[in-house]
Every structure is written in C-alpha cells, then in structure tokens.
Amino acid sequence: MNTLRFQGLRFNALRSKGIGLLVVGCLLGMLGPINLAQGETVGERFRKQMEKMAALCVAQNLSPTDSRCILPKMKPVDPLATEEGRFAHSIKIPNPVPEDSGYKLGMTSQEYFDHLCKTEAGEYIYKTVENVEGILLMRPRGVSKDYVYQHLYAMEDPAGGALEPETAQDYFVQPPIGKYEFLELPGQTSVGYRRYYKDTNANPGKLFSAWLNGHHERIPYVVALEDDKQVRSQFGYTWRSITRPHDRELGIAGGELIILNLANHEVLAVRRGFTKGDLHPTGLRFEWKLPCPNGPKTMTQEFIQQVLKPKGNSHGR
C-alpha cells in the first residue's frame, strides 16, 4: 500500500507560513496544473504531488530545507500522542456526530462540505455559568510550523481557532477584550501550570494596542505571569478533530471546541466547524481555508464568554 495512503487511512481511523511567491511559482511550473482531474480526489492529487516533489528533491539534489523536500517527509499528526489529546478524544458530548456522516458515493468535495456544514456545524450551549473568575486552557495548540498548512494530514484541526498559546492571555485577560481575572495553561516545566492574571503594576510603561471608541488606542498592559502546582480554575476548554473516512480524502477537516466543568467533566457547550482547503500545488492549502458559511459565528473568546460569563463587567467593551 502506498505509504501516504496508509498514513491517511491511519489518521482517518484515529488509532491505527507559507511559501514565498517565487517558490509557489516554481512549484506551479514544475508540478503542473492544480485543477483536479476527472473523478480525482484531493487525497489522490495530494499523494501524486508528494511523489513528484520527493522525486524532484532527489533528482535535483535540492537542499533539505527546500519545501519540495520538506513536505513529502512530513508525517500525519497523531491526535492521541499526548495525554491532553487522549482526554479530549475521550469526552462524550450530548450531541456527538454520527459515525455515518451522510457521505454518498460520488459526492464532490464541495457537495460533501456543504452537507457537513448544513447538518453538523454550529454552536451548542447546554448550560451557562455566572461569575467565572478564570478558565483553564486544557490543551494548547502550539505554534504551527512552516508548510504545515500545505500538508493534507499534518494538522489535527485546521478548522480551529488560533488564540494560543502565545496570545491567549491578550484575549482572555487583557482589557478591553479580556474579561477574566486569570487564564491558566499546562506549564512547560515541572512546576505544573502557568497562570496569566491581572496586575496593574506588572508592566510599568508597557502599552497594548486596542480598538476603543472607534479607533486604536494605546492602553496599559496589565497581564502578569506566575507558575503554580495547582489550578484555580473550575472550568476550562479543550479541542479535538472530527475525523471520518471521507473527509480528508476530499480536502475537508472538522473540529470541536468543548467547554467543561473541571470537577465532574460535565460538558457545558460545544462549538463544531468544518473547513475546506484551497487547491494548491501540493493538492491542498488550509492556510487560506474556507469555513462553513452557516457555521460558528463568534470568535473563540466570545463563545467561551457566552458560556462561562466573566465575573463583573468592569473592563469595558
């Protein structure tokens, strides 16, 4: 079995910034047109392009840092490789997606995407909580590496937001957007957890650019950081991919954001979305993704604040 096909099937089972214009132009010339052939899937196109790239890398003795050498060697992400990933995929939600996604033989990528958006995408709030001081970001996404958006299987959830980990505190804690008193994340050391919290004396002279009163203003940056062995949050959120047999093969990726009560793992809300990548010399590019037109309508922080309502409302709009 073709290695990339096996890797694609393995990803689909869950068990088993970009290239410069010059490089893109070279790829277009060397790898041929980006239109799909009659009856060809995005996955088939992707595997063909990877084989062409790998052969070109060897034939022309290209640098290992050349995108045409990097992309064919990239591996599909394993959603269950970390404890946080295994936990996210173990959560039982009130409205799980059906195993039968509704795919019909012969569906085009656009037809299948439209079907998933119509039948499964949306925001589902089961319970809200008042006066929440802080939240736990249970599974930081990390920073996407170069070219990862151009690989059909290298990202677990291309449909998800990108508020983490470097800037999440600016959306959840720093006024005027941030409404919580603190945000917690798993620590990068043995300490346990990082906590971003409000402290007006933490950054003397440091300013933050914010949109206020119809124009940009520079306001004091009030976010401080500390380490702790324990979490203070009572509520948190995580994320996971939705993966079924035909989605990636047709260039479609889905994901869920799940908000939880940390004490009993009760699911308070779920936001589900899908994205369809654009055709690209590699077969697909999720960097310029097309989201569901009838999918989630709010930003990540807005949806979370609708469910976990911040304590007080003294930090402005």
Confidence of residue 62 (pLDDT cuts 50, 70, 90): very high
The total of other beta-carbon atoms located within 10 Å of residue 99's CB is: 7
Q: What percent of the chain has pLDDT over 90?
A: 60
Of the two residues 78 and 162, the one the predictor is more confident about is: 78
Per-domain residue ranges for the chain?
3-196+231-310
| Phi and psi torsions of 125, nearest 5° | -110, 120
pLDDT higher than threshold 90 for residue 294 = no
The DSSP result for 286-313, as a single string, is EEEEEE-TTS--S-HHHHHHHHEEES--
Cis previous bond, 291, omega within 30: no
Burial of residue 232 (CB within 10 Å: 0-12, 13-18, 19+) is middle
CA 215 – CA 209 distance, rounded (Å) = 10
In whole angstroms, give the CA distance from residue 223 to residue 55: 50
d(CA 199, CA 181): 9
pLDDT band at 164 (very low <50, low <70, confident <90, very high): low
Q: For 19-33, 47-61, 226-240, which range has the lowest pLDDT when averaged over its residues?
A: 19-33
User: Is the model more confident about 210 or about 173?
Assistant: 173
What average pLDDT does the structure give for the chain? 84
The token duo for 81 is 């490789």
pLDDT, mean of residues 227-245: 95
- Per-residue pLDDT tens digits for 124-160: 999 999 999 999 999 998 766 668 888 999 999 988 8
- How is residue 153 written in tokens? 């299987």
